[in-house]
Structure 1
Amino acid sequence: MNLKNFSKYFIKQKMMRTVIISLIPIIFASIYFFGWRTLILLGIVTIAGVTTEWIFEKKYNRKVSEAVFVSCILYTLTLPPTTPYWIAVTGIIFGILFAKEVFGGFGKNVFNPALVARAFVYVCFPTPLTIEWSKAALGFPGGLGTYITEGVEAVSQATPMLLFRDTGKMASLMDLVIGNVSGSMGETSAVLIVLAGIYLIYKKVASWQIMAGVLIGFTGLSSILYALGNNQIPNPIFGILAGGLLFGTVFMATDPISAPKTKEGKWIYGILIGIVTVIIRGYALFAGGMMFAILIANTFAPIIDEGVNAYKKYRKESKAKKEEVAI
């Protein structure tokens, strides 16, 4: 399909294409670490997601948004490499339908569709989403020569956050930076995620205020709890590099539709996500927490903007009254 024909069916969204470009190195890394099944899974999920949106948009004579491709990629990259195809497809259909289309389509959704899809399969299918993992490949050709890498059978080889939660042991920081650990397909390589974040900020596609807010909120609370000797809370550096926090910070929290629009609201929103992530990781049943923290913050995003705008209005009116009195 050439670009002219492509535009007949899809809304042109330059911002979304920029996000996809930033995700390409992470996609290739996921293939290297876990095998070609990651690419096949991505293809199947994308077909299911695009088809779902097309069915509902066709009813209103509207084009499919290019944002659906971003949702499909982000959702897929948050899944374990071994996720059954049918479960992955069920999740994206649910996410696109109930987090996007029921609200009226692109630009009207309250929640991030990729995260809603991930939360749905996480809750409904806990075993393949929390227990079945694959080892990260080493050397050359890595996972490029296999369909999928060897499965993990021992606790000592589970994801970094699960390993810490079950045994108190922490994976090598260097492995976390490079991505040579078990985990969700796109969340393991900190260096690639950070580079993607820098690229998105440079292109003015993602909010640096939200990213900074998440890191401030997370680092602040986790540092306090860690200093107080709370055994459930790892040191902040490990916490940032493990468990998908960076991936969620760069790609999910900064979703322009479900995040606040005001500058001050973005800071509050980011800090809220960071704080809630620490609480969920340390005291809830879930080893991660970033996914639920962002969805909780999505709920408050409109209220945060309303509060910020109301405060600005109050300050402006107060200033005007003071000037009248002075006159």
Structure 2
Amino acid sequence: VFFGGYGHQPASPIAVGWAFAALSFPSAFGFGWSFPFPDALTGFQHWSSRMPTVDHPLVVLANRDGITLKSLLLGYFPQAPGMALPLLVLLLGVLLLALRAIAIRTCIGFLATYMILGTLSPTTTGFDLGASLLAGNVLFAAFLVIADTRTSARTVPGRWLVGILAGAVALLIRTFAASPDGVFYAVLFANVFAPIIDEGVLTLANGGEQTP
């Protein structure tokens, strides 16, 4: 309401909410989170303070501690709070793509940039593409957050550029930042620049003239 009603958010509400929660409770979203009792779908339906604490899945991956792609995909290796089950995210993402309910160009640009840079960059030696996509919020951000048509760019080139920008920043954060998984910060960064990118695209399309 404050920003003008439904569909007028300057940034993704999901990313904003996650960022506030992660900043307020960093241990729950990073290191030393409580290991939950696993179940068939969620992996964290029942919590217990008596259970031991473990590292974030991305930290375990970096140490090569034997996480399999199947365990990540099916949720057998529990994710930290705020991280969705990859299999359900993939199924929902395919459904949204089929219904044309999300900005497919932004989604593809985000995933392609993340995967290509992660594979080619010399700073990501030993980069495990499959595990990196399934651990954390990459798929969730790609299908359900950055591709939200209400906060994405309006122009076709703009949507490609926003996805590329978010994918590059997401990889930088995951590679160099202190937080194990800060993909939603990359989404917020791209959301801020989406109107500017649209303005630049429209200006170029009009032969350098500013749009009214």
Give the TM interval when normalised to the shorter protein.
0.7 to 0.9
Q: Which residue of 1 aligns with 2:164?
A: 271
Deviations 1:174-212 (A, max 9, x none): 111112122146734322211111111111111211111
Q: 2:12 aligns with which of 112, 137, 148?
A: 112
Aligned AA (2:205): K
Q: CA deviation at 1:304?
A: 1.0
Contact kept, 8 Å, 2:73 with 2:87, in 1: the verdict is yes
Q: CA deviation at 1:229?
A: 6.2
Q: CA deviation at 1:244?
A: 1.1
Contact kept, 8 Å, 1:187 with 1:243, in 2: the verdict is yes
Instruction: Quote the Cα distance in structure 2 between the aligned partners of 1:170 and 1:295.
Output: 32
Instruction: Quote the Cα distance in structure 1 between the aligned partners of 2:89 and 2:45.
Output: 24
Q: 1:160 aligns with which of 57, 63, 67?
A: 57
TM-score, length of structure 1 as denominator length: 0.57
Q: CA deviation at 1:248?
A: 0.9
Q: Which residue of 1 aligns with 2:198?
A: 305
Gaps of 5+ in 2: none
Q: Which residue of 2 aligns with 1:123?
A: 23
Q: CA deviation at 1:154?
A: 4.1
Q: Which residue of 2 aligns with 1:295?
A: 188
Structure possessing the higher radius of gyration over alpha carbons: 1
- Tell me, what secondary structure is at the counterpart of 1:314? coil
Instruction: Quote the Cα distance in structure 2 between the aligned partners of 1:112 and 1:241.
Output: 22
Q: Which residue of 2 aligns with 1:183?
A: 79
1:203 paired to 2:104: no
Q: Which residue of 2 aligns with 1:222?
A: 118
Instruction: Quote the Cα distance in structure 1 between the aligned partners of 2:94 and 2:103.
Output: 11
Instruction: Quote the Cα distance in structure 2 between the aligned partners of 1:113 and 1:179.
Output: 25
Using the aligned pairs only, state the percent identity: 26
Deviations 1:258-291 (A, max 9, x none): 1101111111111111111110000011111211
Q: Which residue of 2 aligns with 1:135?
A: 36
Instruction: Quote the Cα distance in structure 2 between the aligned partners of 1:202 and 1:121.
Output: 32
Deviations 1:158-186 (A, max 9, x none): 44213235x34352111111121221467
Contact kept, 8 Å, 1:136 with 1:180, in 2: the verdict is no
Aligned AA (2:164): I
Instruction: Quote the Cα distance in structure 2 between the aligned partners of 1:238 and 1:120.
Output: 26
Aligned AA (1:214): F
Say which is worse superposed, 116-125 or 280-289, in terms of deviation.
116-125
1:176–1:258 distance in 2 versus 1, CA, 3 Å: same
- The alignment covers a number of residue pairs equal to 207
Contact kept, 8 Å, 2:33 with 2:53, in 1: the verdict is no
Structure showing greater relative contact order (alpha-carbon pairs closer than 8 Å, 6 or more residues apart): 2
Contact kept, 8 Å, 1:135 with 1:182, in 2: the verdict is yes
Q: 2:145 aligns with which of 233, 252, 265?
A: 252
Instruction: Quote the Cα distance in structure 2 between the aligned partners of 1:220 and 1:269.
Output: 16
1:121–1:186 distance in 2 versus 1, CA, 3 Å: closer
Contact kept, 8 Å, 2:36 with 2:45, in 1: the verdict is no
Q: 2:46 aligns with which of 137, 148, 158?
A: 148
TM-score, length of structure 2 as denominator length: 0.85
Q: Which residue of 1 aligns with 2:178?
A: 285
Aligned AA (1:135): P
Q: CA deviation at 1:250?
A: 0.7
The structure with the greater share of residues assigned to helix is 1
Gaps of 5+ in 1: 1-100, 317-327
Contact kept, 8 Å, 1:133 with 1:183, in 2: the verdict is no
Instruction: Quote the Cα distance in structure 1 between the aligned partners of 2:142 and 2:48.
Output: 29
1:143–1:115 distance in 2 versus 1, CA, 3 Å: closer
Instruction: Quote the Cα distance in structure 2 between the aligned partners of 1:143 and 1:306.
Output: 42
Q: Which residue of 1 aligns with 2:70?
A: 174
